[in-house]
Every structure is written in structure tokens, then in C-alpha cells.
Amino acid sequence: MKGVVLAGGSGTRLHPLTRITNKHLLPIYDRPMISYAIEALVQADITDIMLVTGGTHAGEFLRLLGNGHEYGIERLFYAYQERPGGIAEALGLAERFAADDPVLVILADNIVERGIAGMVQRFGAQEAGARILLTEERDPAHLRHLGVPRFGADGRIERIVEKPEDPPSTYAVTGIYCYAPDVFQVIETLEPSGRGELEITDVNNFYVEQGQMAFDVLEGFWGDAGESIDAYYAVNDFVRAHGANKG
């Protein structure tokens, strides 16, 4: 399995901090935010990684990461997203890198208390389709800003609803996904959403409709450090007190 770390976006929700750098290079406790996503992949024995970024600060990732060996990466590749075209479009840039291998995709502002090796192992046994990581979120106001799964009577996901006014469950989709190699063919079929982007929720719902979507529920803390200034400092406080990517 190969890893794809998505570190693009304009970072408007973290202005003015992101006027001078990419949000994924901001510090979380004692090191740059992006290092936590890389650490999560390496701990799961994923050491062939592509970093997808964009904007005016893309070169700073090369200065920080270099060839990746210092971080436990065997081979590190870079791709540049020319415009904010959505998570699915950014993933599509990794098609030649992935070749015929499955991929784990992580948004670089996602910070987890527990590692993701178990999810990776279970997806390896799955052999096809997709697997996503959910987190329990009991605050309806927060759920209205996230992707929320609706479950059927059999306990399987029957739809993922993006930013629902009336959340269909108390679970949210984190920014950590596993996909079979055919995900790139799925991306080619997508139409831009109303905001002009290729949405990862549409990718996930494709696999839901095919009956090929599995999920894990995260144990411990999950935070999206790029969600808002308040969320950024909340993630900082948690990592300072409790750490991240623990086994």
C-alpha cells in the first residue's frame, strides 16, 4: 500500500496565520503539523508516500522534508495542485504514483491520538473497495459541518451526507481513507460540485452504492487542526497534554 498526504488548500479558515505559510506547516505542539500525518503512515508500514500540495508556499515542504528519509520514508514524491479543485482532484494527481497499488489517503491537518495500523491491516484483508475512518461526534452543531454516515438496519453505511442540516447519526467521516486501485477510475467519472470541486464524498458514496464500503470507528481523540482557529488551538492543547499516533 502507498500513502498519499494531501496538504493543499488556501487555509482561509486559519487566517491570518496562513498568510505567510501553508497551514500544514504550522506547529502542533513541538513540530510541524504535517509530520503527524507522515508519522501515522510510517507507523502503519507505509513508506512510499506522495505529498500533494499547492499555492505559493509549496517549496517549503521540500525544504522541510527533503527526501523523507529523516522521517522514516523510503521514497517521497511530490505533486502540485494548481488550483483548489477538491480533495478528489488532489488524489487524482497521485494516479501514476499509485500505479496498481491500493492507497491510504490522509488529510494532513488530521491528528489522531491512536495509530491507524489496524485500519490498514483490515483493509489489506478486505482486498477491494474502500474503507474509511469514523469518529463519534455527539455535538449536532459540529456534525453539520462534516460528512455524516447514515446507517442501514444491517449496520452498514447506506449513504454519506455532507454537511447535513439534520445529521443522520452521531458519527463523522474523518479525513483518512483507504481505496483500491480503481479509485482513480471512479474519480474520472465525477462531476464538479456546486462549489466547482471534485468531492471525496462522491467517491465514498460510489463505493457505498457498490456495497464495497467498510469502516472503522476511531478510538481516542481526533482533531481537524485546519477547521478553525479554535480547533487548531484545541488540537495543540490535546497533543501537548496527551501526544498523538500512539499504538
How far is it, in rounded angstroms, from Cα 224 to Cα 135?
11
Q: Which of 103, 118, 105, 95 is nearest to 5 (CA)?
A: 105
> Is there a domain that residue 77 lies in?
yes
Separation between Cα atoms, residue 209 and residue 206, nearest integer Å: 5
Per-residue pLDDT of 153-204, as tens digits, reads: 999 999 999 999 999 999 999 999 999 999 999 999 999 998 899 999 999 9
Peptide bond into 140 cis (omega under 30): no
Q: How far is CA 32 from the centre of its chain?
A: 17
pTM: 0.96
Instruction: Write out the residue range of the structural domain in which residue 171 sits.
Output: 2-242
In a domain, 70, yes or no: yes
Pairing between β-strand 171-179 and β-strand 75-81 as defined by DSSP bridges = unpaired
Please choose, from the candidates 201, 199, 196, 64, the residue with its C-alpha nearest in 3D space to the C-alpha of residue 130.
201
Cell numbers linked to 165: 442540516
C-alpha cell at 133: 475512518
CA angle 230, 32, 123 (to 5 degrees): 90
Residue 247 lies in a domain: no
d(CA 3, CA 178): 9
What is the structure's pLDDT at 166?
Answer: 97
Please report, for the domain that includes residue 182, its CATH number: 3.90.550.10
* Cis peptide leading into residue 16 (ω within 30°): yes
Q: How many domains does the chain have?
A: 1
Closest CA to 14 of 29, 33, 1, 31: 33
120-132 burial string, b = 16+ CB within 10 Å, else e? beebeeeeebbbb
92 part of a folded domain: yes
Does a structural domain hold residue 114?
yes
Q: Digits of tens for pLDDT over the chain (247 positions)?
A: 999 999 987 778 898 988 889 999 999 999 999 999 999 999 999 999 999 999 888 999 999 999 999 999 999 999 999 988 999 999 999 999 999 999 999 999 999 999 999 999 999 999 799 999 999 999 999 999 999 999 999 999 999 999 999 999 999 999 999 999 999 999 999 999 988 999 999 999 999 999 999 999 999 999 999 999 999 999 999 999 999 999 7
